[in-house]
């Protein structure tokens, strides 16, 4: 019997299990694909506080603090972040930063070029720069997290799938695994991302999310550039530096019925436009050479807000889902906060807009 069973070995599940172990809970983490074997490892690796809502800014600032606290510098670099666009398009982000008390700089095109000569920015555009933001290598982050979890005594189960929750009228009693075993626990956190809908469906519950496959690329520039991670709200592209490479792409995706973590090459138009807009914004020492492409499945809700809170009608099960393209940034903070809510009875009133109640439907059998 475990105190907490965490379903999902991505960034949310790992930080949930890490916090639980830190608080002394007997914790098990279950993921068929292993730690960072799913969507988290296929994310672009950008951590920035330059987001549109104060809640997202706060969550990402907390995530950055957690990554820096627990993870060695092999997995991340403090590059800062530059958001480029017309002033009106960046205003919402600046207002959210101000509400959260986070410092930022506003730079005109000449100031951007003076600080980072590689950038080519039209005179009518500005840049907003925040210093503490990170470039993160997700696969290295996953390896670091797995080692920490094992060291702290978390039982990590890989190679078997969590298929459903066994539930009574008011609580979950166990999680059923694909090998026929059942793991009992006092509390459960469901953090399986694109695989959440299937587990809930098997448990006689339905959650109203939709699935997209997002694309990202790694290109080699031949030498390292001393530039921040950046997004371009004018050209709809984003990139982060890592050594001599840049990782990023465009804000494009495809609807999907099932999670796609295949090695299939993304649509050629996606790559062509990503490179076109990169070269329009940045002077590179040599033509970018494609060295890796990634398909990342992401779940979204109708209003773009995460699902975060107790599963309706269950007293001991918590869900974190619908993180969209910002799962890596939001995930550490949400996983950490979920455990604090369960164990320390921390209030979640400020996250009421994320309530799972808005997204759940119930199978008739569950209501009997």
> 1-45+137-208+303-368: which CATH number, 3.20.20.70, 3.50.50.60, 3.50.50.100, 2.40.50.140?
3.50.50.60
Element (DSSP H or E) covering residue 310:
strand 307-310
- The span from the CA of 20 to the CA of 25, in Å, is 5
54-70 and 87-99 helices, crossing angle to 10°: 70
Helical ranges in the chain per DSSP H: 11-22, 54-70, 87-99, 109-115, 138-151, 196-202, 268-281, 327-343, 364-367
Q: Residue 362: what pLDDT?
A: 62
In this prediction, residues 326-338 reach a mean pLDDT of 97
Residue spans of the domains in the chain: they are: 1-45+137-208+303-368, 78-133+210-300
- The span from the CA of 172 to the CA of 257, in Å, is 27
pTM reported for the whole predicted model: 0.96
| pLDDT band with cut points at 50, 70 and 90 for residue 368 | very low
Q: How is residue 177 annotated by DSSP? A: E
- The span from the CA of 171 to the CA of 56, in Å, is 30
User: Which pLDDT tens digit goes with each residue over 219-265?
Assistant: 999 999 999 999 999 999 999 999 999 999 999 899 999 999 998 98
pLDDT at 364 over 60: no
pLDDT at 203 over 90: yes
- Read off the tokens for 209: 């999310």
**Does the domain made of 78-133+210-300 have the CATH classification 3.30.160.100?**
no
């Amino acid at each position: 019997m475990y105190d907490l069973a965490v379903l999902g070995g991505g960034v949310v599940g790992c930080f949930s299990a890490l916090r639980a172990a830190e608080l002394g809970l007997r914790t098990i983490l279950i993921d068929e694909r292993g730690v960072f074997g799913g969507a988290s490892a296929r994310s672009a690796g950008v951590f920035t506080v330059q987001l549109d809502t104060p809640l997202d800014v706060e969550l990402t600032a907390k995530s950055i603090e957690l990554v820096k606290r627990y993870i060695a510098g092999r997995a991340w670099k403090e590059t800062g972040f530059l958001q480029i666009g017309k002033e009106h398009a960046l205003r919402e982000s600046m207002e959210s930063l101000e509400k959260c008390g986070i410092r930022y700089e506003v730079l005109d095109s000449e100031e951007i070029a003076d600080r980072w000569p590689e950038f080519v920015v039209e005179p009518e555009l500005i840049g907003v720069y925040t210093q503490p933001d990170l470039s993160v290598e997700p696969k290295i982050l996953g390896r670091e997290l797995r080692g920490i979890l094992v060291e702290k005594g978390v039982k990590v189960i890989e190679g078997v799938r969590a298929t459903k929750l066994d539930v009574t009228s008011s609580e979950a009693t166990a999680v059923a695994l694909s090998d026929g075993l059942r793991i009992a626990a006092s509390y459960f956190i469901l953090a399986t991302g694109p695989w959440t809908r299937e587990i809930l469906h098997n448990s006689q519950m339905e959650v109203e999310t939709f699935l997209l496959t997002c694309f990202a690329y790694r290109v080699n520039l031949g030498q390292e550039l001393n530039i921040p991670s950046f997004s371009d709200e004018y050209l709809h592209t984003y990139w982060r530096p890592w050594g001599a490479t840049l990782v990023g792409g465009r804000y494009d995706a495809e609807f999907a019925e099932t999670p796609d973590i295949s090695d299939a090459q993304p649509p050629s138009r996606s790559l062509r436009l990503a490179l076109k807009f990169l070269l329009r914004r940045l002077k590179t020492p040599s033509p970018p050479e494609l060295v890796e492409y990634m398909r990342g499945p992401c779940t979204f809700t109708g209003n773009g807000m995460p699902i975060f809170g107790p599963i309706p009608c269950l007293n001991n099960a918590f869900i974190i889902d619908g993180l969209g393209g910002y799962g890596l940034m939001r995930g550490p903070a949400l996983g950490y906060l979920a455990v604090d809510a369960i164990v320390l009875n921390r209030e979640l009133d400020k996250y009421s807009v994320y309530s799972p109640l808005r997204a759940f439907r119930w199978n008739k059998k569950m209501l009997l």
